[in-house]
Amino acid sequence: MKPIRAYGMLALAVSVSALLAQEGGNAENGKRLFAEEGCYQCHGYAGQGGGAGPRIAPRPANSGIQYIRRPTGVMPPYTTKVLSDSALADIRAYLGTIQPPRPVKDIPLLNQ
């Protein structure tokens, strides 16, 4: 491949990944925000639920995250004043990376 064409491919790859990151939110930053904004206090660090909040991960991408803007139950609201749309997208991306737990039958210690 000629050098000039290789650069073209690289530029394309870089711009595509930048676009994907923008659309999908930054999961790494979302993880940080999830702790910093106190979501973990009610939902657990992995969104597994526990104390005051229900399990919120894993969940299908996009489902339900807007709930935090205008909750109708006991959860406090997070308006754009305290959590920007891009911060919300990052948290959504983080929740999207959380995998379901392994089934009990696949954990040897729990099958003795």
SS3 18: helix
Shortest gap between Cβ of 67 and ligand HEC (angstroms)?
Answer: 4
Tokens 């039958």 appear where? 105
Residues that bind ligand HEC in the complex, under the rule CB under 6 A: 37-39, 41-43, 52-54, 56, 64-65, 67-68, 71, 73-76, 78, 83, 91
Contact 45, 35 (CB under 8 A): yes
Peptide bond into 54 cis (omega under 30): no
Residue with smaller CB distance to ligand HEC, 54 or 101: 54
H-state helical runs in the chain: 3-24, 27-36, 39-43, 85-97
Shortest gap between Cβ of 52 and ligand HEC (angstroms)?
Answer: 4
Residue with smaller CB distance to ligand HEC, 79 or 112: 79
Shortest gap between Cβ of 4 and ligand HEC (angstroms)?
Answer: 46
